[in-house]
């Protein structure tokens, strides 16, 4: 699996909360990686390359990360900017995105 924080270059340039957000992101991905049985191959900047024993484990990790991104205690500076503000589902108003947005490719 390859991951990348969406708009990270812009966020690093303009958002004071990015250093804290990046640490929270890294800790979350690594914690769930151990839980799902994967291992970190390498990182480059905010991007991770990780491997799993099965495809199902990789999918499980990706879904777990995306779910937990919604629950992370992101810095207020991030939650108040356009790239990090909460986005609500138009039909029932539950939060579908907030904080850092992570792209993932399996």
* 48, 2 contact by CB (below 8 A): yes
* 104, 38 contact by CB (below 8 A): no
Q: Which sequence spans correspond to the domains of the chain?
A: 2-105
Question: How much of the chain exceeds pLDDT 90, in percent?
Answer: 98
- pTM assigned to the model: 0.93
Backbone φ and ψ for 63, nearest 5 degrees, come out as -65, -40
Q: What is the pLDDT of residue 93?
A: 86
CATH architecture of 2-105: 2-Layer Sandwich (3.30)
pLDDT per position as a tens digit, 7-33: 999 999 999 999 999 999 999 999 999
Give the Cα separation of 104 and 76 in Å (integer).
Answer: 25
Structure tokens at 29: 């991905």
Q: What is the pLDDT of residue 24?
A: 97
């Amino acid at each position: 699996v390859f991951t990348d924080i969406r708009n990270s270059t812009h966020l690093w340039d303009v958002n004071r909360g990015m250093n804290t957000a990046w640490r929270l992101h890294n800790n979350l991905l690594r914690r769930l990686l151990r839980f799902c049985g994967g291992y970190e191959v390498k990182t480059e900047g905010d991007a991770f390359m990780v491997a799993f024993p099965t495809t199902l484990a990789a999918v499980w990790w990706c879904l777990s990360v995306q779910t937990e991104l919604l629950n992370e205690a992101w810095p207020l500076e991030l939650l108040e900017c356009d790239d990090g503000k909460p986005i609500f589902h138009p039909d029932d108003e539950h939060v579908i995105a907030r904080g850092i947005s992570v792209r993932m490719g399996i």
